[in-house]
Chain A
Amino acid sequence: MSAPTSGRGQIARWGLNAYAALGLIYLFVPIAWIVWFSFNQPAGRYNIVWQRFTLDNWTDPFANSDLTGAFVESLKIAAISTSIATVLGSLIAVALSRYSFRGASGLNLFLVLPLTTPEIVLGSSLATLFFDWDVSRGFTTVIIAHVMFQVSFVALTVRARVRGFDWTLELAAQDLGATPMRTFWKITFPLILPGILAAALLSFALSIDDFIITLFNAGSLSTFPLYINGSFRVQFPPQANVLATMVLVASVGLLMVGVVRSSRRNASDR
């Protein structure tokens, strides 16, 4: 603090910290708006101008039956597609990180491709395929679409989490007489489970929130984002904010559990 250079260093240090804090605040400005406006009593059909505080929207979050129906549809789609994608993606991740085999690098590239293709191309191409097949678009086609973009995401996320694991533990278990099945359930599965759960949570969020790909493949089906977009010309009910806040609180809760658990693990490692 005494030398002038270190004083300048201090200022630069605090300047950078303040800049980063501003960045974090920026991330939360619309989130604060969403939560705050869930307590608004809108004057008309649009909940975008602040009127007065009310708890009505929270005591009756399912007042708008179309919105609720679309929300439930989104939850169903996310649950089914995440289950399928988590299995398919985790198998790929295990193959990539657990074994060395010919073609692994080409496969890595192939897995990255869906994530680096613009969503509008993914959506329009899949819709074109369904047109070619004369398949009517709806619940099933949306699930197919969601699994398609979730598989790569799960595979790469799980692989990143299990990279560097000591797979010789499996050999140790087998040397000690464990059957392959028992080795898998007692050693391999517990090792990769946290990574799989994290990937599943994130891809569930991706599915619930997906708009562009879903728009192209939903037909007359209405999901939460599709309903909000479709009805925005006539209304924007405060219940949309309530439901969005619920999703936020639920996922932050799960995230917190993960953070607490991983910091405990770090603490016990030391």
Chain B
Amino acid sequence: MSTVGVERGGDPARSSTHRDELVGLVALIAAGVLITAVGMRLLTGPLATLAVAGLLAIVATLIVMAIAGGPQARRRLAPYGLLKPGILWLALFYLAPLFALARESLSTLPSRFAVEAEFDWNTGNYAQAFSDFGPQFTRGFVYAAVATALCIAIGYPLAYVIAFRGGRWRNLLLGLVVVPFFTSYLIRTIAWSSLLADSGPIVGAIDGLRLTSVFEALQIMDNDRLINTPAAVIGGLTYNFLPFMILPIYVSLEKINPALVDAAKDLYSPAPSAFRRIVLPLSLPGVFAGTLLTFIPAAGDFINAEYLGNPNTTMIGNSIQDQFLVQNDRPLAAAMSFVLMAVITVAVFFYTKFLGTEELS
């Protein structure tokens, strides 16, 4: 993937890792580890000062090496230099926080009203997360899975039509898909709560068409209501994450050479089987990426359940938010966060195995 570059025109047969390259890589990793350790407060006081000094020394050494080493050395060290600011930011504000959260999840609150927890390898938070929040976990994952399936059902045909039949309007149509993304997520969800309300247009239309009993039978409506039902929560999730499904599918469809489909038709393949044998397999990486981009945020979401649901449709995100910010039981919230991450990781692992794609972006 990253074999493009100066090497094509510069030094061609580059087989082994050059010393400069190794130095650059080791320095990047060392700097990342140091800053993560300082961020986690594993190193405190004079040790932390020493670590920061070490960090600066690493950067200074590399700069000196690059200046002294000539253009070849500069070219080998350049990528590591370009990466460093962003990677160190992520080390300090993405990795270190995850470790801090892990430590919090194994901590104990000294008393019921305490906020500061003490780290003592307490696994009780995990036991409590499972025993007290089973229904919330189940609802979170089930709602997210149904919403993801609905996103594929709505998004795939839409991406297909834009990619293969959009013609000169392709860019415009794709722009239209992204537009809703530019209005406030929260206000969009409030819009749905107004649209689905008992006095709103959708319930009115269903009543007018005398379809209420049909919707009740389909378990979409409950007691003549649409709002505050599981269907409303799932509908909100589907709506809010739909663009994240459409865009990757579109990207993978757009890459397909139309000549392949034409060739299949020339060889008398009927349109459906040409789709099934050529277009669908080639678009699976997009479906895969879209599924991750939809399912993962949907599983941790709490806004849709808060605005469109009822107390019996809360998802795990609602519980984590409540424990962390309202009840101030941060160790429990941390344990729940890690269970959420673990389940997602396992699900992604099996999904990857099942679909067999490695292309993520």
Chain A positions within 8 Å of B, measured between CB atoms, are 9, 12, 16-17, 19-20, 23-24, 26-31, 33-34, 37, 48-49, 87-89, 91-92, 94-105, 107-108, 110-122, 124-129, 131-133, 144-145, 147-148, 151-152, 155-156, 159-160, 164-165, 167-168, 170-171, 205, 208-209, 211-212, 215-216, 224-225, 228-229, 232, 236, 240-241, 244-245, 247-248, 251-252, 255-256, 259, 262-263
Contact across chains for B360 and A112 when beta carbons are under 8 A apart: yes
A106 vs chain B, min Cβ distance (A): 9
* Complex-state Cα separation, A124 to B22, whole angstroms: 36
Of the listed stretches B59-67, B186-194, B217-225, chain A binds B186-194
In whole angstroms, what is the CA distance A121 to B155 when docked? 27
Least CB distance from B66 to A in Å reads: 12
Q: Which residues of B contact A (CB under 8 A)?
A: 1-10, 17, 21-22, 24-25, 28-29, 39-41, 75-76, 78-80, 82-83, 85-87, 89-90, 93-94, 96-98, 100-101, 104, 154-155, 157-158, 160-162, 165, 168, 171-173, 175-188, 190-195, 197, 199, 239, 242-243, 271, 292-293, 296-297, 299-303, 317, 320-321, 324-325, 330, 333-334, 337, 340-341, 344, 348, 360-361
Residues from chain A with Cβ under 8 Å of B181 in the complex: 205
Residues of A within 8 A of B29 (CB): 103
Nearest-Cβ distance from residue A41 to partner chain B, whole angstroms: 15
The reply to whether A88 and B239 form a contact with Cβ atoms under 8 Å apart is no
Q: Determine the chain B residues whose CB is within 8 A of the CB of A112 once the complex forms.
A: 360-361
The docked-state distance in angstroms from the alpha carbon of A100 to that of B24 is 13
Shortest CB-to-CB span from A164 to chain B, Å, is: 8
- For residue A205, which residue of chain B has the nearest CB? B182
**How far is it, in angstroms, between the C-alpha of A240 and the C-alpha of B185 when the chains are bound?**
12
Q: A126 and B172 in contact (CB under 8 A), knowing A23-B157, A91-B85, A92-B87?
A: no
Query: Given A30, A102, A104, A156, which contacts B192 in the complex, CB threshold below 8 Å?
Result: A30
How far does the Cβ of A61 sit from chain B's closest Cβ, in whole Å? 15
CB pair A229 B3 closer than 8 Å = no
A76 to B130, CA, bound (A): 41
Query: Across the interface, which residues of B come within 8 angstroms of A152, CB to CB?
Result: 90
- Could you say which of A89, A99, A263 contacts B6, with CB atoms under 8 Å apart? A99
User: 12 A-B contacts, Cβ less than 8 Å apart?
Assistant: A27-B180, A27-B243, A30-B192, A31-B183, A95-B82, A103-B28, A110-B90, A118-B317, A120-B321, A121-B98, A132-B100, A236-B190
Q: Compute how far the CA of A224 lies from the CA of B158 in the bound complex, rounded to whole angstroms.
A: 32
CB distance from A39 to the nearest CB of B (A): 14
Please state if A129 and B297 are interface contacts (CB–CB under 8 Å): no
A147 touches B89 (CB 8 A): yes
Q: Do A118 and B187 touch (CB < 8 A)?
A: no
